[in-house]
Structure formats: structure tokens, C-alpha cells
Chains A and B, each alone.
Chain A
Amino acid sequence: MDVSLQILASGLTLGAMYAISTAGLALVFGAMKMLNMSHGAILALGGYLSYFALTGLGLPAPVGITFAVLVCAAVGVVIYHIVARPMLQSDNFETRIFIATIGVGVILESIILEAFGPQPKPQPVSVPGSLMWGGVYLPYQNLMILGVAVLIMAALGFALQKTRIGRAIRATAQNRDAAQLMGVRIGGVYALVLAISGGLAAVSGITISSLSSLLPNMGADPMLKAFIICVVAGLGSVPGSVIAALFIGVFEAVVQYIFGVRFSFALLLILVILVLIWRPHGVFGRVQGVRL
């Protein structure tokens, strides 16, 4: 009983971290059919910027985190204007932007490597202490990550459902032409979703590195997981990706406990294959009809 609760607790923490990075990726893909391959690098950048602000500049944690989030959001806007916008009208936008953002990721990672070096660095944002609750060991750090994830997802969900700009994002995702005909300036929507996604990547980078450490390529694994989660959920579904992220976090924790860490990724991929055989468009995905 205690063990299963313990596994559930660490699985949910893992899932919460996945959810933060996956929601951004799903938002961008949903709104503009853009698979942002530089998402992992932005995530690492966010972690390092927080480290730089707190350790290098000596700023208090809330200020440092805000700084990292804002810079990563700005990186998202820059990616829209310099990389995505020039090729928006081209045929094969989806393929081109996929390749182009791989390049962006390499550039960002090289900048991090140049600025901070290849050695691991500790993430100074951490909450010490822990809680024993019904025989379950809960570090405050994990509780904070869960809390932050819940807060961010609730805010994102509220913004998408209830605000004017959120409706514009959903409209753009569901039908780009129709959104434009209603007066939505889709360029603004694209820049905004990349900014939100960049900010979420920063939060994700800070939380992930706070449990391990900072490395220039630390974004690779979370991004791969985020892609897997997006595919399982159905590309572009933000609520679906959050549910899938939590589920996969718990799945990983269970597999790691029963079979060991080395099996977790292999079993995760087997799960993905099974899901895609069962539902080729993802659990929450919609069949994309082609209309002539």
C-alpha cells in the first residue's frame, strides 16, 4: 500500500514535469502545425538562465525564474519572426519548419555550451525538506513541482477557454482560414503561442534540473518524452497531452519499480506502438478529413 502510494506520488511528479513541457509543444503544433524541434534547447536555456540569474547575478529566486521565463518567451517570438514567418506560406511548411528548428536547437545548445561549459551545474532553485504523509515520503520540492504544474495547467486551460485571445488561439488551431475570416490576426496568434511555449519550456527546464542537474543537452530527453506524449494524446490536443503526460509519468514510475530503470524507455515505446495500433490518431486525436 505504502509502496504503491509512493510510486504514484513520484509518478505524478514526473508526469507534472512532462505535462509542462508537453503542453507548450502541443499548443504550438495545434495552432500552427509546427513541430518545434528546438523546444528541448529552449528548455535547457530556461534552466541555465535561472542558474545564471540566481548564482551569477545573485537575484532572488522569483525574480530569476521570471527572468528565465521572459527570455525564453522572447526566444519563442524571435523564432516566429526569423524562422517560421518567412516560410509560413511555403508548401511543405511542416517539413521545412521541422528541419529549420533542429538548426535553431543546435544553435541554442551551442550558445549554452559556449557560455556555461559542458560540466553539470546545480540548479539553485530548490525547496529543502520533506513531508511524511501516511507512510509516503514527499519532498517539498516534488510537491512544489506538482503545485506549479497544476497552477500552470489551470491558468492555461482557463485562458484558452474563457479569454478572447484564447478563443482566437483555439479558432486558429481548428480552422486557420475561418479564423482569419473572423478577423483573427494569425501572425499575432503564432507569435503568442511560441512565446507561451517558450515560457513553459523555461519552467519545465527549471523544474527538471532542480531534481537532477543542468547540462547543455538536458532538453533532449524531456523533448523526446514530450513528443511521445503528444503522439499518444493526438498531436495538438492540449488537454489530452496533459492527461497523457500524467498517465505516462505514473506508467514510468511503475515500470521502473517493477522492472528497473533500464526497461522504462523500451516499455514506454511498446506502449506507444500499442496505442497507435489501437488509435492511429492518438487517444484524444481527431481524424483529419481531407476536404476537396
Chain B
Amino acid sequence: MSVELSIQNLTAGYGAQIVLRNLSLDVESGTLTALIGPNGHGKSTLLRAISGLVTIAAGQILLAGTRIDRYRPDAIVARGIVHVPQGDLLFPDMTVLENLRMGSYLPAAARLERQRLEEVFTLLPKLRDRQQQTASTLSGGERRMVGIGRGLMTSGRILMLDEPSLGLAPIIIDQIYEVVDTLRRSGRTVILVEENAVRAADIADEIHLLDHGGIAWGGTGAELSGRPELLETYLGA
């Protein structure tokens, strides 16, 4: 397997407030990498830095060997990195269908819109019935599914999911994780931010623990399960 996304000595934050310090991380193609760690220690900021929403102060981000860290967000999406942000960030006044179609906004994705839409409806059947419903009237779980579906409409090779289970009922979380598992098995590279270390350990090929803006630990899910003290120290589990 080859390294698809490489983050090297990344320092980034918001204005004078540095969130990520000298962080390095490699993501191999076709794997599911989970980022866990306490709130406010840089997991979301890392995703935002990769997708270009946060300007980086130092270091570099390479996609298949090419530097992408100075690109605008739209150019990064065009290169196949899809970010499904925390809190859904749907377009509230658009219908479910319009939201999904925004995912195929770029010409490369627009050509495959019909086919992708069918794939999304197969994976997330509930959205087919809700096509004409305005996004702001959906339930939390439905919103999350639209967010994921919209991400899948893009021509993304790397899918970054920021806490897809946040604030949802356990039964809905199970459904979301089934979808994530399907995506992983379809051969996509997935980067998953997750609060729940046990869930992450279940599904991930590789887990990284973020603390104070850096990687505090990295290993497989099984290795993490064998290190209860890590969970206790960092997550209070």
C-alpha cells in the first residue's frame, strides 16, 4: 500500500491561536484512519487544514506526492479530498436533492451526477423518500446522512468525516457506521474523526490519538484495546 496523504510538520490555527503544532501523519491509500482524542485538541482543525479552510502556518500537506497546502478549498476538492464537516453544514433552504446536487457541483462530478445519485440513494435509502424536503426541517440523523451523501456525490478519493455520530441516538449511530463500513470496503480512503475510542477501534485500520495539537500515539485498533491506560489518560474512559 502507498501513502496517499502525507502531513509533514504541520502547524496551523486561527489567527494568533495555534491549534496544531508540528504534526506529522501519513494516511495509506484504501485504509480507514481514525483520529481520536479529547475535544479542542485539533482533530477538526486538522481536517479543516487539509481541506484548505484553515490557512497553515508551517509544514506541508502532500497528496500523492504533490503539495496541496497552498491551494484554495475548491482546488483541493477538485483533487479528490472531500470533507464532511462537523455539524453537517447543509444548505438549510435547499431541498435534500439540491443539497446532494451541490456535491456534484464541479464539472468532473457533474458528469456522473445521475449515477452517483443512484448510488447515494442505494446506500442511504431514506434520502430517496426525502428528496423534496427542505434541509432545515430534517432530523439530526437525516441531516447527517445528507451531509455524507453530499460528500459522496463529489469525485472524492479521500473522504474525511468529522464526528459523523455526534449527538445522534445509538440506533442511528449504528446505521451511520454501517455506511462508513460500506465505504471502507468499497476501497476508498477514509479519515474519521471520532470521540468514541471504542467505536473507532472497532472499525479503523489505524488510529491516531491527538493531544495538544500533536499525535500522542498511533497504532491499530487492537493495539489501542490493549492499552487501557491510554484511554484513561487522554479520554477519561
Contacts and interface: CB of A to CB of B under 8 A. Distances in A.
Contacts of B77: 180-183
Contacts of B52: 180
Contacts of A175: 89-92
Interface stretch (B98-106, B179-187, B192-200): B98-106
A183 B103 CA distance: 8
B154 A180 contact: no
Contact of B72 (A170, A185, A286): A185
Q: Is the interface of A mostly helix, strand, loop or mixed?
A: helix
Of B89, B90, B110, chain A has the most CB atoms within 10 Å of the CB of B89
Nearest to B87: A291
Nearest to B48: A177
Interface residues of B, number: 30
B143 interface: no
Nearest to B135: A174
Contacts of B106: 182-183
A171 interface: yes
Contact of A170 (B53, B90, B93): B93
Given A180-B74, A181-B53, A291-B87, A174 B154 contact: no
Contacts of A184: 74, 105
In which size bucket is the chain A interface? 20 to 34
Contact of A177 (B89, B93, B101): B89
A171 B74 contact: no
Nearest to B89: A178
Contacts of A178: 85, 89-91, 102
Interface string B66-92: 000000111001100011010101111
A174 B52 CA distance: 19
B150 to A, nearest CB: 7
A170 B92 contact: no
Nearest to A289: B92
Interface in A159-197: 164, 167-168, 170-171, 174-175, 177-187
Contacts of B83: 181
B189 to A, nearest CB: 17
B165 interface: no
B53 A177 contact: yes
Nearest to A187: B72
Contacts of A91: 15
Nearest to A168: B105
Nearest to B82: A181
Contacts of B98: 167
Given A167-B105, A177-B85, A178-B85, A183 B91 contact: no
B89 A181 contact: yes
B92 A164 contact: no
B103 to A, nearest CB: 6
Interface string B33-73: 00000000000000000011100000000000000000011
A111 B108 CA distance: 46
A174 B91 contact: yes
Contact of B103 (A164, A182, A185, A291): A182
A86 B72 CA distance: 16
A180 B89 contact: no
A193 B143 CA distance: 29
Contacts of B74: 180, 183-186
B138 interface: no
Contacts of B91: 170-171, 174-175, 178-179
B94 interface: yes
Given A177-B53, A180-B72, A180-B77, 13 more contacts: A167-B98, A167-B101, A171-B91, A171-B105, A175-B89, A175-B90, A177-B89, A180-B74, A181-B89, A182-B102, A182-B150, A183-B109, A184-B74
20 contacts: A91-B15, A167-B105, A170-B91, A171-B102, A174-B94, A175-B89, A175-B92, A178-B102, A179-B91, A180-B53, A180-B74, A181-B53, A182-B102, A182-B103, A182-B154, A183-B74, A183-B77, A183-B105, A183-B109, A186-B74
Interface of B: 15, 51-53, 72-74, 77-78, 82-83, 85, 87, 89-94, 98, 101-103, 105-106, 109-110, 136, 150, 154
Interface of A: 91, 164, 167-168, 170-171, 174-175, 177-187, 286, 291
